[in-house]
């Protein structure tokens, strides 16, 4: 099950966190992974781990918010059977405390970056008679989270783009779904706590963990496992869906 041999997979934001876990797992299942990240050093590090484990991968440094750069990158590939849009950034603030430059920065990466990769990948998928897309949304798209105005906006847009692509390309045998994680323990979380709660990192980590009814944050590997399922032939009947993976956050919080 979940065999990806002979498949090529593009994973953005694959230099760290969820994207890296996805890249490692897809490679483990046989895919040749294009590791895409704005940080070339981190992308190369991910490729090195994949190759050490006997997998196949290549590193590609690109800013997904730049359409010309994304188009040029995809133009160099013969096919892209799988696209996982995992690149993203966050911001803390209400509408009043979100500066225009921060709003634009999140839009450019989290929304335009997804659009740019979709626009570059879909022609390749059409040429090769189909493909699979998984976009990374968030519980923030469907729940009112405090101080996450711009971030929630971008993830709502990702969910909407997912539905639109699934509808427009279902006859082209292109499936498109999205995943909505709650909090996931990534290096971003550790950096956020260190920056905003110096000396209280452990206390705040515990507090954030308990916002999930299950009592902890997810691991990147748990998110990657769901991505693998949706990318595999075992999920061939699934398109246009959003999958919360949230430890009960959306349904069980009172």
Give me the pLDDT at residue 192, please.
80
Give me the pLDDT at residue 254, please.
66
Mean pLDDT value across residues 39-49: 98
Mean pLDDT value across residues 106-121: 98
- Under the banding of pLDDT at 50, 70 and 90, the label for residue 187 is confident
What single string gives the DSSP state of each residue in the chain?
----TT-EEEEETTTSHHHHHHHHHHHHTT-EEEEEES-HHHHHHHHHHHHHTT-EEEEEE--TT-HHHHHHHHHT-S--SEEEE-------B-TTT--HHHHHHHIIIIIIHHHHHHHHHHHHHHHTT-EEEEEE--GGGTS--TTBHHHHHHHHHHHHHHHHHHHHTGGGTEEEEEEEE--B--HHHHHHHHHHSTT-HHHHHHHHHTTSTTSSPBPHHHHHHHHHHHHSGGGTT--S-EEEESTTHHHH--
Give me the pLDDT at residue 178, please.
98
Whole-structure pTM value: 0.96
- Under the banding of pLDDT at 50, 70 and 90, the label for residue 188 is confident
Give me the pLDDT at residue 181, please.
97
Mean pLDDT value across residues 73-101: 96
What's the pLDDT tens digit per position in 203-221?
A: 999 999 999 999 999 999 9
Mean pLDDT value across residues 87-93: 94
> Does domain 8-182+219-245 match CATH 3.40.50.720?
yes
- Which residues have a catalytic role annotated? 151
What's the pLDDT tens digit per position in 17-35?
A: 999 999 999 999 999 999 9
Question: For the chain, which residues make up each domain, given as ranges?
Answer: 8-182+219-245, 185-217
Mean pLDDT value across residues 230-242: 98
């Amino acid at each position: 099950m979940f065999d990806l041999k002979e498949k090529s997979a593009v994973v953005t934001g694959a230099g760290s966190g969820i994207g890296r876990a996805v890249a490692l797992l897809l490679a483990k299942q046989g895919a040749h992974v294009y590791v895409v990240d704005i940080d070339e050093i981190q992308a190369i590090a991910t490729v090195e781990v994949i190759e050490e484990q006997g997998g196949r991968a290549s590193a590609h440094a690109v800013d997904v918010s730049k359409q010309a750069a994304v188009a040029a990158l995809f133009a160099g590939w013969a096919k892209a059977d799988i696209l996982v849009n995992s690149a993203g950034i966050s911001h803390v603030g209400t509408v009043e405390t979100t500066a225009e430059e921060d709003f634009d920065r999140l839009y450019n990466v989290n929304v335009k970056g997804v659009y740019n990769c979709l626009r570059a990948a879909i022609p390749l998928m059409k040429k090769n008679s189909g493909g699979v897309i998984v976009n990374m949304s968030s519980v923030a798209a469907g729940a009112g989270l405090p101080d996450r105005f711009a971030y929630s906006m971008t993830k709502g847009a990702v969910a909407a783009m997912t539905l639109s692509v699934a509808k427009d390309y279902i006859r082209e045998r292109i499936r498109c779904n999205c995943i909505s994680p709650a909090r996931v323990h990534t290096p971003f979380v550790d950096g956020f706590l260190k920056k905003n709660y110096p000396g209280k990192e452990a206390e705040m980590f515990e507090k954030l963990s308990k916002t999930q009814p299950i009592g902890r944050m997810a691991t990147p590997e748990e998110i990657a496992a769901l991505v693998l399922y949706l990318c595999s032939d075992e999920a061939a009947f699934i398109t246009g869906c959003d999958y919360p993976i949230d430890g009960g956050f959306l349904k069980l919080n009172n």
